[in-house]
A and B are shown apart, each in its own frame.
Chain A
Amino acid sequence: AQKITQTQPGMFVQEKEAVTLDCTYDTSDPSYGLFWYKQPSSGEMIFLIYQGSYDQQNATEGRYSLNFQKARKSANLVISASQLGDSAMYFCAIEGGSYIPTFGRGTSLIVHP
């Protein structure tokens, strides 16, 4: 079984500041992938970033980076230089050997001007 925990139901950040969204996971699979998705108020789910469990480097995609700490089983998303358009729900997900992804309950991010 695999599990994702996102403990922050809501986060607030000032525009242009950086923000970290927490994600911890649990899995018995030796190989797995971790994902982050963004869901704006319009409802669609947008893929942001992927981290493989054997990747040596932390994944980065533009202003998004994934702070992967394998020993702590955490995969936090860091958004640098927040923009108003970053206001959305953010979901962390894990995909193990069964290739059936499990999503967390999400964190709501509000960016203030």
Chain B
Amino acid sequence: DAGVIQSPRHEVTEMGQEVTLRCKPISGHDYLFWYRQTMMRGLELLIYFNNNVPIDDSGMPEDRFSAKMPNASFSTLKIQPSEPRDSAVYFCASSFTRQGLDGYTFGSGTRLTVV
């Protein structure tokens, strides 16, 4: 398996623009997570899905952020409109179970810069 695949690896956009981050989890993994990493706040869980259904989105910062998982092999995180404070590395991760006994498999991340 190629692991969790995220695209793009880097994204630079202007304030106010819409940004869409993409994730393909490992086949067979029932759980998908979106995390955000910044120097100030560390690694934060934004939202997670179980069997394509959003379970907990309490970490989503505000209404500008939305996430979807239309099928088991694809998820998106959208920011509209983007702001400079959204600049961060966004990780997608997946796992077989909710209790990550085998850990979560993270993608390589998308480094987002909003100017």
Q: Which residues of A contact B (CB under 8 A)?
A: 33, 35, 37, 42-48, 50, 52, 91, 95, 99-101, 103-106
Contact = CB atoms under 8 A, between A and B. Distances in A.
6 contacts: A33-B100, A33-B101, A37-B103, A50-B101, A52-B101, A101-B104
Nearest to A48: B103
B42 A45 contact: no
Contacts of B71: none
Interface residues of B, number: 21
A104 B106 contact: no
Nearest to B42: A105
Contacts, number: 50
Interface of B: 42-43, 45, 48, 56, 89, 91, 93, 98-109, 111
Nearest to A35: B103
A35 B111 CA distance: 24
A56 to B, nearest CB: 16
B102 A47 contact: yes
B109 A50 contact: no
Given A99-B98, A105-B42, A47 B103 contact: yes
A101 B42 contact: no
Contacts of A48: 103
B48 to A, nearest CB: 8
B45 to A, nearest CB: 6
Contacts of B103: 35, 37, 47-48, 50
Contacts of A33: 99-101
A50 B102 CA distance: 7
